[in-house]
Amino acid sequence: MSAHSHKAIGVLDSGVGGLTVVREIQRQLPHEGIVYFGDTARMPYGPRPYEEVRRFALEIIDFLISQEIKMVVVACNSATAAGITHYQKQCPFPVLGVIEPGVRAAIAHTRNNKVGVIGTTGTINSSAYKKALLREKADLQVVDRACPLFVLLVENNLVDTREALLVAEEYLQPFKKAGVDTLILGCTHYPLMAGLIQQVVGPGVKLISSAEETAAEVKAILTATNLHNPLRSSNPGYRFFVSGSPKPFEEIGTKLLRQPVKAYQVLLNN
């Protein structure tokens, strides 16, 4: 146990999507407190320039530090792609992004060495996944594609529509053609439409949710650094902050986490 063990895990995302990571941390680490920041006033991050996303993320990390945290999870693929090493340099504690955990899981799973990646425009254009995959395993065949409409489908509750099916069929065609056996859901929102994606790519393709893999890595980091919360409370305390209006966030959060979510608005500088 360290002097910081009782502190919370800081989690940031551009909006509600990072709650998929919170849900997994809650499942795998039920005794850990969480401070979450959703930058709902400035989302989506996907189409924004990297410098801007980086500036937003650093600003949020400053806020999280003021809330007494012991580590940061950048639960946003676009923010991770924009500059995870910058955030790591800035912080005196562990900072984990969502890309590396998904990459490791995909490599562990693929049998035919053909891995697909889907994400926002920013994430795919950065090639952060492709580079990380090839760094770990140079002989992989990586197929990647930006699927910008997927975030809108999830945000607008349109996943179960015929339009969503048509969009998914068009976006996912190259992965079927290439015969990937593993597909990384490289965006926080995509686990929320995993059923549709699986239906389109077929049961033979393993979907890698970065949320699940990231939570497992958070657990490993807390163990390695002796930072597990010593209190075995079943109600470790979650605090949610947003830059936009709390109400829509609270509604989605309550549904997603299956517990009442109360969010507070924090006005950021930019």
Which residues lie near ligand DGL (CB under 6 A)? Answer: 13-14, 17, 43-46, 76-78, 120, 123, 151, 187-189
Q: What are the tokens at 127?
A: 């090639």
∠ CA 66-54-19, rounded to 5°? 65
Closer residue to ligand DGL, CB minimum distance, 51 or 68: 51
- The nearer residue to ligand DGL, 94 or 186, going by C-beta atoms, is 186
Contacts of 26 (CB under 8 A, 6+ apart): 34, 257
Q: Of 116, 46, 40, whose CA–CA distance to 82 is shortest?
A: 46
Catalytic residue among 29, 69, 76, 115: 76
Q: Name the residue nearer to ligand DGL (CB basis): 45 or 241.
A: 45
Q: Does the annotation mark 147 as catalytic?
A: no
For ligand DGL, give the closer residue by CB, 14 or 182: 14
C-alpha distances (whole Å) from 266 to each of 41, 113, 198, 245, 259 are 10, 45, 37, 10, 22
* Shortest spacing between CB 190 and ligand DGL, in angstroms: 8
Q: Helices H, strands E: what count in the chain?
A: 11, 10
Least distance CB 111 / ligand DGL (angstroms): 27
| Token pair belonging to 200 | 């389109």
The distance of closest approach from Cβ of residue 186 to ligand DGL in the complex, given in angstroms and rounded to an integer, is 7
- Catalytic residue (one of 69, 187, 193, 261): 187
Closest separation in Å from C-beta 78 to ligand DGL: 4
Contact 11, 34 (CB under 8 A): yes
Query: Which residues are annotated as catalytic?
Result: 76, 187
